[in-house]
Amino acid sequence: MNAFGPYLATLHLQDLLDDAALERRARLAHKGQPGVPAWRRTLAGTLASAANRLDPGVRVVDRVRFERAS
């Protein structure tokens, strides 16, 4: 049994390192991909405010579509 101790400990340590690497990759993959890039959100806000200045009867719906207010 003494000969298998270091071998089993090495396998267990490798399993722990593999699990940690998978968790780290999953966290980075989830964190690194926002739904909409920041420059697009800023551009959408700029375009919405410009449209509102040109025609105050236009209102923003979902920050993407514009519709005429009645």
pLDDT in tens, 32-70: 666 777 788 788 888 888 888 888 776 666 555 555 554
The pLDDT value recorded for residue 64 is: 53
Is there a single domain that holds both residue 44 and residue 25? no
User: How far apart (Å, rounded) are the C-alpha atoms in residues 38 and 35?
Assistant: 9
The pLDDT value recorded for residue 45 is: 81
Is there a single domain that holds both residue 26 and residue 40? no
pTM for this model (two decimals): 0.42
How sure is the predictor about 16, in pLDDT bands with cuts at 50, 70 and 90?
Answer: very high
Going by C-alpha positions, the residue among 36, 61, 35, 37 that lies closest to residue 48 is 61
Domain extent at residue 68: 36-70
Is there a single domain that holds both residue 53 and residue 69? yes
SS3 of residue 68 by DSSP: strand
Mean pLDDT, rounded, for 18-42: 81
**2 DSSP 8-state letter:** T
Tokens of 66: 């514009």
Is there a single domain that holds both residue 67 and residue 40? yes
Is there a single domain that holds both residue 65 and residue 45? yes
